[in-house]
């Protein structure tokens, strides 16, 4: 079986999630107003965004680890499917309840795509 697609899926996911982590928590007071047009002054909100950063980086590290240790690939890909699917699901709820955000609609579509790609790769591996 061609492992290029399965490695590419986790690799792209890791890079994108690390970038998002840095935007969310690297310097939230500076970066969030640039990317999302709101100011972040509240200490508790800064803490929440840095917590999200840590969570995102932890998942990305697991996916990178699985690229180097193939025996972890299935677990990491399942984790990725749940992660991306959870993000997409949350954005669908926001779309229905809060309205359309062009910025996050693009993100939702990409997260949904990554979830489907991961499911596809899992099925290919399990059926081979």
Question: What does the pLDDT read at residue 39?
Answer: 85
The model carries a pTM of: 0.91
Indicate the DSSP class of residue 27.
S
* Cβ-contact 94, 104 below 8 angstroms: yes
Q: What residues make up the domain containing 63?
A: 4-126
Contacts with 2 (C-beta within 8 Å, 6 or more apart), sequence order = none
CA 128 to chain centre: 27
- In the chain, the number of structural domains is 1
**Cα separation, 18 vs 27, whole angstroms:** 14
- The pair of structure tokens assigned to 13 is 């996911």
Q: What is the pLDDT of residues 70-89, one digit of tens each?
A: 999 999 999 999 999 999 99
Select the more confidently predicted residue: 56 or 33.
56
């Amino acid at each position: 079986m061609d492992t290029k697609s399965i490695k590419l899926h986790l690799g792209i996911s890791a890079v994108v999630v690390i970038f998002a982590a840095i935007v969310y928590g690297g310097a939230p007071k500076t970066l969030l107003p640039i990317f999302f047009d709101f100011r972040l002054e509240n200490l508790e909100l800064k803490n929440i965004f840095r917590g999200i950063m840590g969570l995102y980086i932890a998942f990305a590290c697991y996916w990178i680890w699985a690229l180097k240790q193939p025996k972890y690939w299935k677990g990491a890909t399942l984790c990725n499917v749940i992660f991306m699917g959870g993000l997409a699901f949350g954005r669908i709820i926001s779309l229905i309840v809060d309205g359309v955000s062009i910025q996050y609609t693009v993100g939702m579509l990409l997260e949904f795509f990554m979830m489907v790609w991961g499911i596809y790769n899992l099925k290919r591996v399990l059926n081979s």
